[in-house]
Amino acid sequence: MSTALTLWRSVRPGPALGMSVAAVALALLIGALMVALMGVPVGEAVAAFADGAWGSPYALAASINRALVFMLVGLGFVLAERANLTNVGGEGQIAVGGIAATAFALWPPVAGLPFGLAFIVPMLGACVAGALWGGIAGVLKVKAGTNEVIATLLLSFIAVWMVYGSVQSEQLLRRPMTTSATLPESLEIPLATQLPLLLGDASVPLHAGLPIGLVFAVVVAVVLGFTVLGLRLRATGLNARAARRAGMAVDRLTVGVLCAAGALGGLAGACMLQGEQYTLKAGFSSGYGFDGLVVGLLARGSVPGVIAGSLLFGFLRSGGINMEMVAQVPTALVVVIQGLIIVILAGAALAIQRMEARR
């Protein structure tokens, strides 16, 4: 009975949800205005957007694949947020995840592993790499009191350039240069290490990352709402001193949760690489990390919120691409809309806090 009540309370709409919806609506409205200002008929633009977002099974699948990446990063953000830690290093965690996934996938013994281990091992490698990357920030916080925002941000930049570096050199991951026109990218990963398609049909490219990601979403939701660990994270986030006094291992919790967030980011990178791109290129993670961060922010701590937000951003991205191709509206418009959402919500945070306190 009480469990049901807690469950309901965790998804019940509150003023925060209303504000998020209002912010998105306002941003979309301004976007529509800008489309009109550009001289493009708004109806045409919206149609192109819808078509690109969910207009065909292929489009829908592509949107969902993007949403998956956002969701994983957003989950990591929300997890760390529970302990009052702000992880903005999603971009970098995706990057190191991609590097690790590629490295493992291209390692000959892995492709021959049975029972799907061929694609699971690189994913695990990506998780470990991401966990390490997040853990560095955690250790810095615990040992040196370093602000985790700055640490994860700097690590993010470093990781992105690590990707660039790793595909520049044949000693690392670059494909052998057969001609002078060979691009700096890795070899394509073997078929066995690619994530299997759920429907077996390349025209609807939903891949195995989706169920795995959803499982993690459930895990995170359960941990946050239904475990002692979740309570301990909450206590650490709300009052670290009291948590310490109550015997909780605050330092270990801090490092641990940042590792977990990093692992989720790494997994997102693996999904991108093994599920869609199959080749490691410089800048493959471009913008996905920040988008995932925004999804996490929008969700205000709720896992259903992360799922909803990541779908929204998945549609935004796919729809935006199609809008550019068909209606000549630059994808930069979508970027503007995203920026507006963040700014509006950040500005309203104080008002939301007051509203929630009065509940």
> Which of 11, 26, 28, 34 touches other proteins by CB under 8 A?
34
Q: What is the DSSP string of 330-354?
A: -THHHHHHHHHHHHHHHHHHHHHHH
151 makes contact with other proteins (CB under 8 A): yes
Instruction: State how far the Cα of 252 lies from the Cα of 232, in Å rounded to an integer.
Output: 11
165 makes contact with other proteins (CB under 8 A): yes
Q: Is 82 left (phi over 0), alpha (psi -120 to 50) or beta?
A: alpha
| Least Cβ distance, residue 221 to other proteins (angstroms) | 12
Q: Distance of CA 4 to CAs 1, 10, 113, 282, Å? A: 5, 10, 43, 47
> Which of 173, 260, 273, 340 touches other proteins by CB under 8 A?
340
- Considering only residues 66 to 85 of the shown chain, the ones binding other proteins according to CB under 8 A are none
CB within 8 A of 205, min separation 6: which ones? 58, 61, 62, 65, 197, 276
> Which of 14, 26, 28, 146 touches other proteins by CB under 8 A?
146
Structural element, H or E, at residue 273: none
113 makes contact with other proteins (CB under 8 A): no
234 makes contact with other proteins (CB under 8 A): yes
| Least Cβ distance, residue 241 to other proteins (angstroms) | 6
Instruction: State how far the Cα of 195 lies from the Cα of 246, in Å rounded to an integer.
Output: 45
Strand partners, 259: none
Instruction: State how far the Cα of 226 lies from the Cα of 248, in Å rounded to an integer.
Output: 18
> Which of 144, 176, 178, 179 touches other proteins by CB under 8 A?
144
Q: 110: number of CA atoms within 13 Å, CB side?
A: 22
| Least Cβ distance, residue 212 to other proteins (angstroms) | 21
40 makes contact with other proteins (CB under 8 A): no
Q: Of 97-105, 186-194, 206-214, 326-334, which segment contacts other proteins by CB under 8 A? A: 326-334
Q: Where along the sequence are the contacts to other proteins (CB under 8 A)?
A: 1-3, 5-6, 34, 38, 86, 88, 140, 144-147, 149-151, 153-155, 157-158, 161-162, 164-166, 168-169, 222, 226-228, 230-232, 234-235, 238-239, 241-247, 249, 290, 293-294, 297, 330, 332-343, 346-347, 349-350
